[in-house]
């Protein structure tokens, strides 16, 4: 059950040592919300660390405090530390960062599939991003939002709602984004950094698009990131999903990504189908229109399993 907004503030102010983390394969929301919370807690002169058990895409390196992001092996904690888990449903989503959570845990999240695992939680599935929740908390607490935190929060909100194009965009989402721009966020600069690609990556897009496949009378589109294709894209493949989902007539879009011969990462997006339910079949979760899971099978087998479940659902 959600703690009150004032209790959440009290918990954060009470601790002197705080570790902030979010889900593996961190996206704009995970990174932006952790760095904004880091900014505020750091300004209160607390000992604060930001940890991700995954490489962070360097396209985010324009954010203030990007350099503060550390790997689990670089950090020592004990049970006097508070762990703040942002944008994640359960401890299994944190990779090795979970091993550092030795004391109490505060979870701030917006996933419908949240597992309600923490000592204190503030879960808002009606919000588009963890960054939207944090913005709302800062405003409710009357904390002046510094421009650098506003940039991080704007990035968090905008990336999780597809720059205000997805169905999770509400009036509240837009009001929070407006408040962030008033606080000094730079929508143009954020978009420039996120959209910029090297010429080689831009040209690789042509190769990637050739690999999109259609299923189920063209209502389903999928893209498999084989090791060969990832020579063109690199490790960070999240941005290609938009091309798959934007194909005319497609309801469900998915990507499957090679991790090893026995492990495949799956991302799902939809216009009408509940993809959280499809991801749940494989032990994953997320939101109704955006979800993911990891399948302990080869890329080809995982793809077949995912297509089968999608076709059952549409
Ligand atoms: P993505 O496809 O971008 O990795 O994830 C889409 C959404 O589903 C994100 O909000 C992400 O946090 C969530 N998600 C992705 N994979 C998993 C998973 O394995 N388990 C859970 N619980 N959520 C996931
Ligand atoms: Mn999120």
In angstroms, what is the span from residue 256 Cα to ligand 2's centroid?
Answer: 20
> According to the model, what pLDDT value does residue 313 have?
97
pLDDT in tens, 164-192: 999 999 999 999 999 999 999 999 999 99
pLDDT in tens, 131-166: 999 999 999 999 999 999 999 999 999 999 999 999
Candidates 285, 280, 234; CA nearest to 257 is 234
Q: Are 213 and 223 in contact (CB under 8 A)?
A: yes
Cα separations in angstroms, 63 against 190, 193, 236, 254, 301: 9, 10, 18, 29, 39
Candidates 215, 242, 240; CA nearest to 311 is 215
Surface-to-core class of residue 211, CB atoms within 10 Å of its CB (0-12 exposed, 13-18 middle, 19+ buried): middle
Strand partners, 258: 264
> According to the model, what pLDDT value does residue 101 have?
98
Helices 130-140 and 5-14: angle between axes, nearest 10 degrees: 90
> According to the model, what pLDDT value does residue 202 have?
93
Q: Is 89 helix (H, G, I), strand (E, B) or coil?
A: coil
**Closest protein CA for atom 19 of ligand 1:** 293
Among all bound ligands, the one having the nearest atom to the CA of 264 is 1
In angstroms, what is the span from residue 217 Cα to ligand 2's centroid?
Answer: 31
In angstroms, what is the span from residue 36 Cα to ligand 1's centroid?
Answer: 21
Pocket mutation for ligand 1, best pick of 23, 110, 123, 223 (most atoms within 8 Å of C-beta): 23
Backbone angles phi, psi at 267, to 5 degrees: -120, 140
Q: Kindly report the average pLDDT of the chain as a whole number.
A: 97
Among all bound ligands, the one having the nearest atom to the CA of 130 is 2
> Which residues form ligand 1's pocket by a CB distance below 6 Å?
23, 25, 27, 89, 93, 111, 113, 238, 267, 284-287, 290-294
> According to the model, what pLDDT value does residue 241 have?
97
> According to the model, what pLDDT value does residue 84 have?
99
Q: Which parts of the chain have pLDDT scores under 50?
A: none
Token reading at 140:
């409710």
**Closest protein CA for atom 22 of ligand 1:** 285
Among all bound ligands, the one having the nearest atom to the CA of 255 is 1
Q: Is-above-0.85 flag for pTM?
A: yes
Residues 6+ apart with CB under 8 A from 58: none
> According to the model, what pLDDT value does residue 163 have?
97
Q: Are 292 and 266 in contact (CB under 8 A)?
A: yes
pLDDT in tens, 194-211: 999 999 999 999 999 999
Measured distance CA(185)–CA(180) in Å, rounded: 6
């Amino acid at each position: 059950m959600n703690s009150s907004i004032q209790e959440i503030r009290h918990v954060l102010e009470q601790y002197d040592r705080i570790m902030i983390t979010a889900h593996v394969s961190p996206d704009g929301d995970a990174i932006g919300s952790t760095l904004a919370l880091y900014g505020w807690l750091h300004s209160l002169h607390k000992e604060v660390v930001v940890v991700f058990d995954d490489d962070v895409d360097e396209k985010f390196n324009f954010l203030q405090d990007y350099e503060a992001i550390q790997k689990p092996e670089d950090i020592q904690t004990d049970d006097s530390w508070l762990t703040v888990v942002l944008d994640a449903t359960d401890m299994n989503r944190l990779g090795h960062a979970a091993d550092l959570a030795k004391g109490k845990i505060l979870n701030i999240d917006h996933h419908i599939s949240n597992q309600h695992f923490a000592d204190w939680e503030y879960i808002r599935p009606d919000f588009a991003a963890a960054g939207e929740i944090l913005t709302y908390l800062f405003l409710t607490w009357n904390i002046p939002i510094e421009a650098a935190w506003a940039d991080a929060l704007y990035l968090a909100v905008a990336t999780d709602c597809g720059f205000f194009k997805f169905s999770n965009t509400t009036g509240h989402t837009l009001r929070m984004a407006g408040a962030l721009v008033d606080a000094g966020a730079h929508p143009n600069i954020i978009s420039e950094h996120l959209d910029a690609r090297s010429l080689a990556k831009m040209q690789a897009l042509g190769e990637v698009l050739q690999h999109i496949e259609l299923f189920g009378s063209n209502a389903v589109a999928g893209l498999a990131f084989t090791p060969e294709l990832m020579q063109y894209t690199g490790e960070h493949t999240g941005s290609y999903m938009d091309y798959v989902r934007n194909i005319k007539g497609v309801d469900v879009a998915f990507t499957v990504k090679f991790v090893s011969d026995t492990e495949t990462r799956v991302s799902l997006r939809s216009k009408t189908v509940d993809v959280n339910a499809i991801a749940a079949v494989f032990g994953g979760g997320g939101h109704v229109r955006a979800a993911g899971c990891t399948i302990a099978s080869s890329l080809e087998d995982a793809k077949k399993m995912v297509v089968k479940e999608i076709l059952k659902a549409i």
